[in-house]
Structure 1
Amino acid sequence: MQIEFLGGAREVGRSAILVNDSLLLDYGMATGNPPSYPVSDPDPDAVVVSHGHLDHVGALPSLLSGDARPPIHWTPPTRELTTVLARDTIKLHGGSYDCPFTETEVKRLSQVSETHGYRETFSAAGHEVTFFDAGHIPGSAHVLVDDGETRFLYTADFHTEDTQLLSGTTARPEADIVLCESTYSDVEHSPRKSVEQSFAESAKTTIWEGGTVVVPAFAIGRTQEMLMVCEAHDMDCYVDGMGQQVTKIARRYPDFVRDAAALRRAKSNARFVTGRDGQRKRIADQNTVVVTTSGMLTGGPAMTYVPAVRANPTNKITMTGYQVDGTPGRNLLDRGRAEIDGQMMAVSAQVESYDFSAHADRDGLLDFLDSYRDAEILVNHGDRCEDFAEELRDDGYDASAPELGAVVIDDGDASDGTRET
């Protein structure tokens, strides 16, 4: 088996892995201005997609330009989420840089789509492929690829702890090579129940004191999680932005969430915002919780809510996810000010951060990998891939962190191991 790293190696973003020059796993983009894409333009015979986040699917429609029509294999929620993200990419960025695809390519996604459930083996580009629930977002999957000689497990993004929205992954399929994400390889998450309780107590205190709680949240996964947390703790809330559409998508696939009835109750508890006639500014004056995109304050309805609540110290802005260096969300946490819609704003409202991560932490990664002590471990999707690979080697693993553009070759002979070119 030959594994080529076109993106996501020693970095977070633009994940893309080419197997045997024929099967492409994911094809994402790294957000930025301008964004970055995988380092080559592959011409695969088939594509397999792990889940519907931009860093894994952001460039996917560009594979369907010209005469290329490779089949795309994914779970049903991933298919829908990818289409939503693609159209949002055109809407938000089509005029500010050369968007790598058009609406024509987005429409072609449905023409080549082949959906599969978990643990249903299918054929793709001459390989046997199986999805396993990864516990990251609705429809997310570990991808097991078997070429007849080598069993290759691409973990993609995964979580080992149960959340309100999803059950943590329990899948440990046999594999000769494991390509493992390492996003939080040096972080230990607090227990999810205690994080939820701290958030709920803080939000209720603000509401009792006459304030408004703005909760910037990623549209996919995080928004639904926060709506379920609010419902579970008897808090009314509003939901705004793309998270509304994603919530409706998640409701259509009850088999891909932990508790479909609880998600239904959370959706019923939340009031959907239309954004018409100054509605957002009126909501910002209420004693309530507002869950809104974007999670890092880089756009979306948050651009209305944050300026509206920033001057009152009783109000609160609660960040619920990782904030990339240089983003307004990170600047707000570190400096108490942020550039919102091109204007630097000081914020007197209270600013808090809660770790609602959908990734496995260090303990989760090590627990997962403990099942693969006899396998070759390749580390990717992280800011410290080399360090984590070294730590694994110190613990007895055969581990490495391939560079961007590297090719790892395994001939199926366990005595020879792998080599990188």
Structure 2
Amino acid sequence: MDLQFLGGAGEVGRSAILVNESLLLDFGMKTDSPPQYPVGDVTPDAVVVSHGHLDHVGAIPSLLSGRARPPIHWTPPTYELAMTLARDTLKLHGGTMQCPFTEEDLRRVTEVAETHGYREPFEAAGHRVEFFDAGHIPGSAHVLITEGCSPSSSRTQSDDDGETRLLYTGDFHTDNQRLVSGTTARPDADVVICESTYADVEHEERAAVEDRFAESVKTTLWEGGTVVVPAFAIGRTQEMMLICAEHDIPCYVDGMGKQVTEMLRQYPEFVRDADALKRAKSHARFVTGRDGQRKRITDQKAAIITTSGMLSGGPAMTYIPEIRRNPTNKITMTGYQVEGTPGRDLLDTGRAEIDGRVMPVSAQIESYDFSAHADREGIEGFLSAYEDTPILVNHGDSTTWFAEQLEADGYETRAPSLGETVEV
């Protein structure tokens, strides 16, 4: 089995791996300025997508800009999320370098999309493929690929028929979140491609993070302030809604997260507790943005959960200028802030460029680790099921370092470089 790493090797973003020159795993974008896309010119026979985040699906429609029409395989939520992100990219950047596809390319995606649930084997480019719940966001999947097998065939670890089983972890979490349960799947594999986003981090216990967040927000509201909660639309917005509902924190929800929440409620089997999500939706107040509603909300004693998670656009651009001068108010960052983004600048300097102006912020600024990725302990715990299996480390800023750590622990491992082809 030949694996060509077209993106996500030694980096986070633009994930793309070509298997046997025919089966493409993910096709994302890296949101630099200008954005970066997978390297090389690829024309796969089929595409399999692990989950619906921009760094894994952001460039998918561009695969259909020529004459090729490869089928695209994903879970139902991943398909919906990919289409939502693509429409947003077209709306914001259509016709520029930041959008590598057209409206017509996006329409073609609907013609070739094929959805599958977990543990429902299917055929793609001559390979047997099966999805397993990865515990990252709704619909996220570990992808198990067996070359030369039909969907109806089965294989056990004791088989010795020359076929290779590849496990592509995608992004995963081993601990429970309120929105999704941690992964428990450990399918037999002959080689593993493992993400390493937080391989050099130890997450604080989730319950302790949640309690600190809730106490901080409640204190600010009691003091008469407003809390802006920047959050990614996919996964994080819904997680923060569930937390606010559980701790009886009044909240508004704004941005793309509203649309994503409504969509996820159509797929109750892909969330941990569909009833809890329904209650969180009833607890929150969705912002319409009409008639100056956003400015009025900033005077309310409430949490405002809004995109974007790194303050690089979205309704947050309205809320931050309105609440920034009052030191009673608070901005609580809920996810990793990439260097160079306004969110990162705000954490580091107390100032950020908002809508073209650098603004000092007197409001309190806090950061909480609500990551949907496994940390080092979680990754190592997952890989303990594959102690005798070659590990290829990708999707991280420190892949070489982590590969060396695993090797010191007795694993056979390496960190492929961008553009490299590895034979396994």
Instruction: Work out whether the TM-score is over 0.5.
Output: yes
1:191 matches 2:205: yes
Corresponding residue for residue 286 of structure 1 = 300
Give, in whole Å, the separation in 2 of the partners of 1:196 and 1:93.
35
1:228 matches 2:235: no
Corresponding residue for residue 309 of structure 1 = 323
Aligned AA for 2:181?
A: S
What secondary structure sits across from 1:324 in the alignment? Answer: coil
Corresponding residue for residue 363 of structure 1 = 377
Instruction: Note the 1:50-65 alignment, pairs <5 A.
Output: 50-65=50-65
Give, in whole Å, the separation in 2 of the partners of 1:309 and 1:95.
34
Aligned AA for 1:229?
A: I
Give, in whole Å, the separation in 1 of the partners of 2:321 and 2:310.
15
Instruction: Note the 1:3-18 alignment, pairs <5 A.
Output: 3-18=3-18
Corresponding residue for residue 156 of structure 2 = none
Deviations 1:89-115 (A, max 9, x none): 111122543621001111111110110
Give, in whole Å, the separation in 1 of the partners of 2:331 and 2:173.
26
Q: TM-score, normalised by structure 1?
A: 0.97
Corresponding residue for residue 314 of structure 2 = 300
Give, in whole Å, the separation in 2 of the partners of 1:146 and 1:216.
41
TM-superposed deviation, 1:34:
1.2
What secondary structure sits across from 2:413 in the alignment? Answer: strand
Give, in whole Å, the separation in 1 of the partners of 2:305 and 2:164.
45
1:130 matches 2:130: yes
Q: TM-score, normalised by structure 2?
A: 0.96
What secondary structure sits across from 1:370 in the alignment? Answer: helix
Aligned AA for 2:352?
A: A
Contact kept in structure 1, 2:95 and 2:102, CA below 8 Å: no
Counting matched residue pairs gives 410
1:264 matches 2:287: no
Corresponding residue for residue 114 of structure 1 = 114
Corresponding residue for residue 416 of structure 1 = none
Instruction: Note the 1:20-31 alignment, pairs <5 A.
Output: 20-31=20-31
Instruction: Note the 1:68-147 alignment, pairs <5 A.
Output: 68-97=68-97, 99-147=99-147
Corresponding residue for residue 38 of structure 2 = 38
Contact kept in structure 1, 2:15 and 2:395, CA below 8 Å: yes
Aligned AA for 1:68?
A: A
Corresponding residue for residue 414 of structure 1 = none
Unaligned runs of 5+ in 2: 149-162
Give, in whole Å, the separation in 1 of the partners of 2:313 and 2:377.
33
Instruction: Note the 1:198-277 alignment, pairs <5 A.
Output: 198-277=212-291
TM-superposed deviation, 1:32:
1.9
What secondary structure sits across from 1:194 in the alignment? Answer: helix
What secondary structure sits across from 1:77 in the alignment? Answer: helix
TM-superposed deviation, 1:41:
2.1
Q: Assess, with a 3 A threshold, how the Cα gap between structure 1 residues 98 and 256 changes in structure 2: closer, same or farther.
A: closer
Contact kept in structure 1, 2:35 and 2:98, CA below 8 Å: no
TM-superposed deviation, 1:329:
0.3
1:153 matches 2:167: yes
Q: Assess, with a 3 A threshold, how the Cα gap between structure 1 residues 304 and 387 changes in structure 2: closer, same or farther.
A: same
Instruction: Note the 1:303-342 alignment, pairs <5 A.
Output: 303-342=317-356
Give, in whole Å, the separation in 2 of the partners of 1:287 and 1:124.
52
Corresponding residue for residue 345 of structure 1 = 359
Contact kept in structure 1, 2:51 and 2:78, CA below 8 Å: yes
1:373 matches 2:387: yes
What secondary structure sits across from 1:109 in the alignment? Answer: helix
TM-superposed deviation, 1:334:
0.7
What secondary structure sits across from 1:139 in the alignment? Answer: coil
TM-superposed deviation, 1:277:
1.2
1:167 matches 2:181: yes
Aligned AA for 1:62?
A: S
Alpha-carbon RMSD across the aligned residues, in angstroms, is 0.7
1:394 matches 2:408: yes
| Sequence identity (%) | 72
Give, in whole Å, the separation in 2 of the partners of 1:33 and 1:93.
13
What secondary structure sits across from 1:146 in the alignment? Answer: strand
Aligned AA for 1:409?
A: E
Deviations 1:211-235 (A, max 9, x none): 0000000000000000000000011
